[in-house]
């Protein structure tokens, strides 16, 4: 779990089934051509290619060459590598012609990166054929510390807890206002749906490690923004070597949600 790439890989143990459900809900055309914009290490690229099946081609695009090296290695082992390719590039200026794809997907990226959302949605829509779809997905909530709702609420109110939404940012830039972004971009037949994933004791080693990683990614180091008492309690609950480590609870249960926004490019 030393690098962010490792954390992304670990997160798949938590979120894969939930993201599969979101992809299934898109009802993508079999054998279609799609783009995974901001693909990271390519986990979703593989899931998208599996969903649209034989004859499809899905391109994963990311700015990070480090992520793409990992993505290509994962794809080689997938058995469907001929249906997938990866390309380095910027979502703000997609290196594709107009009407290049049947659909575009982006997860944990639009609304997270420090970018103007409306131009970004318009750029995604530009490369989609008339009648095709644009879909964005993002983590939207979680309950990870059962029995400690006040502490978790305070953690969620810290700078890392509300990231990428920051103090002073306009309300319409919050991810859950994405229907407005889609509408202003001229997309039609707008849909939104939230998908829940959950875990419970006994936890496998993979799930346990993924949750430890999630604590670090979700809340970072919030000490400066918590009371001494809250910080001490969080440390006691979140550290694996603590006798009160929360993931050791025999009745541990947690859930999280992903929210999906989808719209069609006008004919």
The three state secondary structure string of the chain is: CCCHHHHHHHHHHHHHHHHHHHHHHHCCCCCCEEEEECCCCCHHHHHHHHHHCCCCEEEEEECCHHHHHHHHHHHHCCCCHHHEEEEECECCECCCCCCCEEEEEEECCCCCCCCCHHHHHHHHHHCEEEEEEEEEEEEEEEECCCCCHHHHHHHHCCHHHHCCCCCCCCHHHCHHHHHHHHHHCCCEEEEEEEEEEEEECCCCHHHHHHHHHHHHHHHCCCHHHCCHHHHHHHHHHHCCCCCCCHHHCCCCEEEEEEEEEEEECCC
Q: How many CA atoms lie within 13 A of 13 on its CB side?
A: 17
The confidence score (pLDDT) of residue 175 equals 93
* pLDDT tens, residue by residue, 238-255: 999 999 999 999 999 999
Residue 167, both tokens: 């103090």
* pTM across the whole model: 0.94
Determine the average pLDDT of the residues in 117-129. Answer: 96
In which band, very low, low, confident or very high, does the pLDDT at 1 lie, cut at 50, 70 and 90? very low
Q: What is the CB-side half-sphere exposure of residue 218 using CA atoms within 13 A?
A: 22
pLDDT band at 5 (very low <50, low <70, confident <90, very high): confident
**SS3 letters for 88-154?**
ECECCECCCCCCCEEEEEEECCCCCCCCCHHHHHHHHHHCEEEEEEEEEEEEEEEECCCCCHHHHHH
Q: How many domains does the chain have?
A: 1
Instruction: Grade residue 114 by pLDDT with cuts at 50, 70 and 90.
Output: low
Specify the pLDDT at position 252: 98
Top-confidence residue, 7 or 49:
49
Summarised one tens digit per residue, pLDDT across range 148-176 is: 999 999 999 998 898 877 777 888 889 99
Please give the average per-residue pLDDT across 21-27, as a whole number: 97
Confidence of residue 113 (pLDDT cuts 50, 70, 90): low
The CATH number of whichever domain residue 59 belongs to comes to 3.40.50.150
Summarised one tens digit per residue, pLDDT across range 64-110 is: 999 999 999 999 998 898 999 999 999 999 999 999 999 999 999 88
Domain that holds residue 250: 4-264
- Which of the pair, 192 or 79, is modelled with greater confidence? 192
Residue-level pLDDT at 83:
95
pLDDT tens column, 205-226: 999 999 999 998 889 888 889 9
């Amino acid at each position: 779990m030393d690098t962010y790439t490792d954390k992304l890989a670990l997160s798949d143990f938590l979120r894969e089934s939930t993201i599969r459900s979101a992809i299934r809900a898109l009802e993508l055309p079999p054998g279609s051509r799609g783009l995974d914009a901001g693909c990271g290490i390519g986990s979703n690229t593989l899931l998208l290619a599996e969903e649209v099946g034989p004859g499809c081609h899905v391109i994963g695009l990311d700015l990070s060459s480090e992520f793409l090296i990992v993505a290509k290695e994962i794809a080689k082992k997938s058995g469907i590598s001929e249906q997938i390719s990866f390309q380095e590039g910027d979502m703000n200026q997609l290196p594709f012609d107009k009407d290049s794809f049947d659909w575009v997907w982006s997860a944990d990226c639009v609304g997270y990166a420090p970018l103007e959302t409306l131009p970004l949605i318009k750029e995604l829509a530009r490369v989609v054929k008339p009648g095709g779809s644009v879909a964005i997905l993002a983590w939207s909530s979680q309950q990870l510390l059962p029995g400690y709702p006040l502490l978790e609420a305070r953690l969620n109110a810290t700078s890392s807890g509300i990231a990428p939404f920051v103090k002073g940012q306009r309300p319409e830039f919050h991810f859950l206002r994405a229907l407005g972004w889609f509408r202003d971009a001229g997309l039609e037949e707008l849909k939104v749906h939230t998908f829940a994933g959950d875990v419970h004791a006994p936890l496998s080693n993979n799930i346990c490690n993924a949750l430890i990683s999630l604590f670090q990614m979700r809340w970072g180091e919030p000490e400066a923004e918590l009371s001494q008492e809250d910080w001490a309690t969080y440390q006691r609950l979140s550290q694996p070597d603590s006798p009160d480590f929360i993931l050791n609870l025999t009745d541990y249960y947690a859930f999280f949600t992903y929210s999906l926004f989808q719209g069609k490019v006008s004919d």
